[in-house]
Amino acid sequence: MSAQPRPRRVVVAGGGSAGWMAAAAIARTMGRTVSVTLVESDAIGTIGVGESTIPPLITFNRLLGINEATFMRATQATFKLGILFDDWKEKGSRYFHSFGLTGTDHWSAGFQHFWLHGRTRGHDAPYDDYCLELAAAMQSRFAHLPGDAVNYAYQLDSTLYARFLREMAEGDGATRIEGRIARVDLDGERGDIAALVLEDGTRVEGDLFLDCTGFRALLIEGALHAGFDNWTHWLPCDAAIAVQTPNVRAPVPYTRAMAHDAGWQWRIPLQHRTGNGIVYCSRYLSQDAALERLLGNVEGEPLTKPNVIRFTTGARRRQWHRNCVAIGLSGGFMEPLESTSLHLIQRAIIRLIRLFPHGEISARDVAEFNDQQMTDMEQIRDFLILHYKVTERGDSAFWRFCRDMAVPETLSHKIELFRETGRVFRRNEELFAENSWVQVMMGQGITPRSYHPIAAKLRDDELDKMLTGLRDTVAHSVDSMPEHAAYVARYCGAARPAAA
């Protein structure tokens, strides 16, 4: 009887959301074909502010067989239907980027074309009235509807999520080693990573190493020098401060992003507390002034000390290099404006599992992984830049810089195409759907100059029936939903944490 081949040794460097999402997914998916070892130190903190998510996390959890109510109870989670943007177009303005569809598309043209034509025929209802998720969010209502009719995500405690996944990963055979990484040993002949050496001398050998060490990027950059593309000339914010407060009102099913004269602030309500933070450009606002502004705009007394985070927006040039794959912040950073941090982690993990090597690592697999990762990040980058570039604000040096800066051609083309024709095209499984681009571009002040001629095909009575019917359906569905906080309490209510 021939001996079974030794399981491929996967070593995860670092814990937090990235490390434990990777360990849990690989241990559960790959089973006995791999051994998973995660190295982390309790002495090293995690960023821990990835509280707002987007809908693909639902798919990730389902792939791992996670019960939604159990997960939400464990992470103090609430539901999220989108993001409310205050003061981005101009001071006093407001718009909502929802996760749902607006109206009904035709295969030849999105709903915005029919709405734009309707405006020329006397229909003055706002675009927002045709979106179920948006209307429900503004009334603070939520329910699961038949046929997964509601598109949603979660607002959660990412530290608790990592803890939840650790328990699952260890149950599936993953091993955790406590310790700080002192050095990374390379194979002298191949140049690959051979082992992690801890401060106590423990040597952790592996075949495939996942760098989940956050901004430090100890493996992918510190040891392998993969390179980094800096995007701060397009996304100039380079610092954030986060603090938690108790809930002073019922949690709403959306995140708030409130622009200020040098960046923006977030407010994310969980079941029993709220995550708050300020993102800013240090060229235009000092840390002391940013902290004063943040603390002056929170609701309730802070529960935690302010957590100051410095960052550089950009992407690692090679996120899979030799036998090392960067997962999470070690692979690059996108400011949290559209809640993409956990999404980029899960995309990298799922992509790695799909390209998981059987034997020797394939250079073609590595190239494909890197190309897809960079495409994801560039598309998200463009969507984030859109929020800053398309603005009517000129009240501060920061906003004048953003309004006047040159942007990538990929984004410039998308903006001008929509401005001229109302059209949006997605490419290569792009994350943000057509409706996301439409909501943000119109919310930031762009009204298309024309629309698809097929919209004019409808007679006035047909157009009236279509638009009125869509609005009535949305209104009826929202009226049938319970209040969000009551639904959360019934579906996945968590015990209130003990006072510190």
Burial class (CB in 10 A: 0-12, 13-18, 19+), 417: middle
Number of H helices and E strands in the chain, helices first, is 14, 21
Query: Contact, 335 vs 384, CB < 8 A?
Result: yes
Cα-based torsion angle of the residue sequence 365, 359, 223, 50 in order, rounded to the nearest 10 degrees: 60
Query: Contact, 105 vs 466, CB < 8 A?
Result: no
What sign does the CA torsion over 280, 44, 348, 342 have? negative
Residue 55's closest CA among 20, 22, 89, 82?
82
Query: Contact, 111 vs 119, CB < 8 A?
Result: no
- Residue 144 host element (H or E): none
- Catalytic site residue from 80, 89, 389, 414: 80
What's the Cα-to-Cα distance from 314 to each of 128, 223, 285, 381, 441, rounded to whole Å? Answer: 33, 19, 21, 9, 23
Q: Report which DSSP code applies to 44.
A: S
Residue 378's closest CA among 493, 241, 231?
231
Rounded CA-CA distance 434/356 in Å is 32
SS (H, E, C) 457-484: HCCHHHHHHHHHHHHHHHHHHHHCCCEH
CA-derived radius of gyration, the chain: 24
Chain-centroid distance, C-alpha 310: 18
Instruction: Say whether 442 sits in a helix, a strand or coil.
Output: helix
Residue 446's closest CA among 465, 475, 418, 484?
418
Rounded CA-CA distance 81/64 in Å is 23
Residue 381's closest CA among 440, 425, 431?
431
Clarify whether 414 is annotated catalytic. no
Supply 364's token pair.
Answer: 């073609």
What's the Cα-to-Cα distance from 290 to each of 238, 257, 268, 273, 393, rounded to whole Å? Answer: 12, 15, 18, 22, 20
Question: Can you give the length of the chain in residues?
Answer: 500
Q: Which residues are catalytic?
A: 80
